[in-house]
Structure 1
Amino acid sequence: MRFTINDKPVEAEFDPRTSLLDLLRDHLGLTGSKKGCNQGACGACTVLVDGERINSCLALAVQYQGRAITTVEGLGQTGSLHPLQQAFVEHDGFQCGYCTPGQLCSAIGMAGEAARGVPSVVTADLGDETVTLSHDELRERMSGNLCRCGAYNGIIDAITETFAADGSQKGDAGARKAA
């Protein structure tokens, strides 16, 4: 089966019952995404598929043939961190770090959703084409990613610093969307 993982073509042979998470970790050696609950409840396994966040522990790898998959290993570039990764460092957005890969991928996917105007439970105006990433919006949208250490304030501060209300990244002058 063929995939594009972190902008690289990948061909793999595996049991069709293999989850995307197990393909990434056990077959391809991409161990950044974590197996926390293996039930889709903690978000530690979050990856991006075509820019949208998914829980890779709940997804069969065969479902994502031919799609663009981005793991935490694919966020930064050689020698430099993604702006959100750098903000996590600056704002103490992690303690043990176990949830961090899922938090990062989820936040990037979430910013893309907000930029496209996808509402959440707390979105004030469902008719808006863009969503302002307020404190309440961020907490609601990131609620599927658990941090057992309780680093939520640093996580929210890092996301707030990195993404503008329109989903653009800091340092990009709005030229590139978040996901």
Structure 2
Amino acid sequence: MDIRTYGKDFDRYYENARKEVRFVRSKVYGVENVDGTGDLSVKYATEDGGLAREDFNLVVLSVGFQSSPELVNTAKKLGIQINPYGFCQTRDFLPVETNRPGIFVCGSYGGPKDIPETVMEASGAAGSVSAMLAPARDTLTRVKEYPEERDVSGEEPRIGVFVCNCGINIGGVVDVPEVRDYARSLDNV
């Protein structure tokens, strides 16, 4: 019955949708075919406890997210505590730490998350692992030997341009094909 927009710019998405979408606070308890029309009839309980029914030509089902039995089984094998919802138990201000030192969690193993939150947690888990490995840093390194360099001072410069087209995080802000085409038009690229 609630609409929560907790991620970056999710509130903007919701406000834009409100201009053209009718939101009805309710609890859906049934979806049925409407004979001969191809439409679907949605049955729901309203906030005041009344029952209602509306027909639509399209119904989008947003399903819940729950942990899998494999997640719980793996956690038991590793001795990791599980929260009441079946996800890995973490601490409020240390969201990648488990009850087992050296075992970290990120992404949906700790509960439902969106992609940016998952990426941030993955970075946090990697940083935590790196901190644990700090005492071993440089114990297995050796001086890298490079091949002899060739003198290219008299040659035309060659420039490589690499543009990441990573979904909407970059593609939503930068016109990647336009940047690519512009880079192609430059000399020595």
TM over 0.5: no
Q: TM-score if structure 1 supplies the norm length?
A: 0.22
Pair member with larger Rg: 2
Q: TM-score if structure 2 supplies the norm length?
A: 0.21
